[in-house]
């Protein structure tokens, strides 16, 4: 198992447990932190002087996302989230400017889930998972990591859900941004399986958003991110847990043409192939390839464990693989063994384009240029890259209303009218040495690559509006990419449930509907 995880380029590691807050009666010395202590919340506060503060900051995945607030507050219940939020809102801005951040799993970009001048509401202790067999619902709290949620569901009812593929990712951010799953070909995006949300609004009230109550909020949360309140529980429709067929192949870069053909083939498939998932990535990592050569990873999953479904994989199976791993395993085991390693400074960007092989080949060319440029500027052993090409068949955007026994609804991503298959391109760079200066160089290079991808796709009539929120860079506008009707809908819902704009101005991290042009 250890070898398999190392070969996946995503070794599993144990995340530190959420820190226990200090019981000290001394106040942290800033207005909002003092207000939380005065409200009786001192036992769930962590100040920089507390021994648990730095270990908790280390649970953020990316080093450059570890922004250190005046204090962390770690609520243990929905009632405590309500008290924390109302206390902070009542504390006001004072003479200076300070803000509130909300963190679930800590995988977002810098500033999306923590803050320097202010308080971070860290939901790490809200991490329970419970299976309700009578309703066939999985009730997940936002601070749970997917590997633990899957394991709990497996143990409680031999069920799973359409959730994250990386076991270290948190439940909350994944579902609020959409959520691409191995089960997406049958069940759509992860948010499409959410039956009910428990939400703490800015005034401290708790509402339950579903098809029959607060239905507008229910729909808005399916891709609308943190614009309305703090979600403290997600109820998802559960599905039977069948051992997956998981196949991973690593190929040399000279087989890229065959990989592109496989992605194009899959993105053009119809719903009869919905039990299969295909993920491809290109990587520069001298710990894997000391010569600095790009390695291609191809993951094929059949969610029913069917080995006879491999037609879409046949062309690649005949190629000589550097590594070939095939296993049948639960979703819990797959997620636990597929965690991207953190602890580096990270840059990212994403685009979506039509299923045109010329665009994919151009992305491959740009990746090689990116690696060559960064090798020269910051050194080959100072960075790693991951360029994902994820096929999105045309039918996937229409699966939302078909979920929940036909009682689902179209999510916010705006793909329901997509007529052609598409591919989500995602570029990521991890910088291990050279600090912020090297990161700035890497981010600039990746931004330039992203712009080139978009320009070329536009030039051949292949650019798709969607900027997938869960992979987007802070400079991008995923909410604005959802289309005019969905943007207007999100504005109306935000105004109704947060009339004072607390989640636009006081909780400014992440993508905000008020900032859409």
pLDDT one-digit tens code per residue, 452-488: 999 999 999 999 999 999 999 999 999 999 999 999 9
Model pLDDT, residue 25:
41
Span 371-381, mean pLDDT? 98
Q: In this model, does residue 9 exceed pLDDT 90? A: no
Model pLDDT, residue 11:
32
CA-nearest of 226, 240, 273, 219 to 396 is 273
pLDDT confidence bin for 96, thresholds 50/70/90: low
Q: In this predicted model, what pLDDT tens digit does every residue of 408-455 receive, in sequence order?
A: 999 999 999 899 999 999 999 999 999 999 999 999 999 999 999 999
Q: Can you tell me the distance from the alpha carbon of 515 to that of 517, in angstroms, rounded to the nearest whole number?
A: 6
CA-nearest of 464, 461, 458, 382 to 423 is 464
More confident site: 317 or 328? 328
Q: Tokens representing 58?
A: 């280390």
Q: Can you tell me the distance from the alpha carbon of 227 to that of 338, in angstroms, rounded to the nearest whole number?
A: 30
Q: In this model, does residue 353 exceed pLDDT 90? A: yes
Q: In this model, does residue 372 exceed pLDDT 90? A: yes
Model pLDDT, residue 316:
84
Q: In this predicted model, what pLDDT tens digit does every residue of 257-283 receive, in sequence order?
A: 999 999 999 999 999 999 999 999 999
Model pLDDT, residue 8:
38
Please give the model's pTM, rounded to 2 decimal places. 0.94
Span 303-322, mean pLDDT? 84
Q: Can you tell me the distance from the alpha carbon of 339 to that of 35, in angstroms, rounded to the nearest whole number?
A: 38
- 155-190 burial by CB neighbour count: b if 16+ within 10 A, else e? eebebbbbbbbbbbbbbbbbbbbbbbbbbbbbbbbb
Give the chain's mean pLDDT.
Answer: 93
């Amino acid at each position: 198992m250890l070898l398999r995880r190392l070969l996946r380029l995503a070794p599993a590691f144990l995340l530190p447990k959420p820190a226990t807050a200090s019981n000290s009666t001394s106040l942290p010395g800033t207005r909002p932190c003092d207000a939380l202590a005065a409200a009786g919340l001192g036992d769930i506060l962590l100040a920089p002087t507390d021994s648990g503060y730095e270990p908790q900051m280390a649970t953020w995945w990316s080093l450059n996302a570890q922004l250190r607030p005046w204090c962390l507050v770690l609520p243990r219940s929905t009632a405590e989230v309500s008290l924390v939020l109302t206390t902070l809102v009542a504390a006001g801005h004072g003479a200076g400017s300070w803000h509130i951040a909300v963190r679930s799993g800590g995988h977002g970009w810098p500033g999306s889930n923590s803050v320097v001048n202010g308080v971070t509401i860290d939901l790490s202790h809200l991490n329970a998972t419970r299976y309700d067999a009578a309703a066939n619902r999985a009730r997940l709290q936002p601070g749970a990591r997917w590997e633990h949620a899957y394991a709990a569901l497996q143990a409680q009812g031999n069920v799973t859900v359409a959730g994250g593929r990386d076991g270290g990712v948190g439940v909350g951010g994944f579902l609020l941004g959409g959520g691409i799953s191995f089960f997406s070909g049958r069940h759509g995006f992860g948010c499409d399986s959410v039956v009910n949300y428990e939400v703490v609004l800015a005034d401290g009230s708790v509402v339950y958003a579903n098809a029959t109550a607060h239905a507008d909020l229910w729909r808005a949360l399916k891709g609308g991110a943190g614009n309305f309140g703090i979600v403290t529980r997600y109820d998802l429709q559960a599905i039977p847990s069948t051992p997956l067929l998981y196949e991973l192949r690593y190929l040399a870069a000279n087989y890229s043409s065959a990989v592109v053909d496989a992605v194009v083939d899959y993105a053009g498939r119809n719903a009869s192939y919905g039990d299969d998932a295909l993920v491809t990535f290109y990587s520069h990592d001298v710990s894997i390839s000391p010569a600095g050569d790009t390695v291609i990873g191809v993951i094929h999953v059949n969610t029913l464990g069917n080995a006879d479904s491999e037609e879409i994989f046949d062309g690649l199976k005949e190629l000589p693989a550097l590594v070939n791993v095939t296993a049948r395993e639960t979703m819990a085991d797959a997620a636990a063994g597929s965690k991207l390693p953190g602890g580096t400074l990270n840059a990212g960007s994403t685009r979506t384009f039509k299923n045109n092989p010329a665009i994919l080949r151009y992305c491959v060319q740009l990746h090689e240029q990116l690696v060559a440029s960064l090798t020269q500027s910051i050194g080959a052993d100072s960075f790693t890259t991951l360029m994902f090409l994820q096929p999105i068949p045309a039918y996937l955007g229409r699966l939302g209303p078909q979920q929940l026994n036909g009682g689902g609804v179209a999510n916010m991503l705006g793909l329901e009218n997509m007529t052609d298959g598409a591919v989500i391109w995602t570029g990521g760079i991890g910088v291990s040495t050279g600090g912020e200066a090297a990161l700035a160089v890497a981010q600039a290079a990746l931004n330039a690559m992203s712009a080139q991808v978009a320009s070329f796709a536009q030039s051949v009539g292949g650019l798709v509006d969607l900027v997938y929120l869960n992979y987007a860079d802070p400079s991008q506008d995923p909410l604005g990419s959802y289309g005019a009707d969905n943007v207007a809908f999100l504005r109306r819902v935000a105004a109704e449930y947060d009339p004072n704009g607390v989640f636009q101005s006081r909780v400014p991290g992440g993508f905000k509907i008020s900032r859409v042009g």
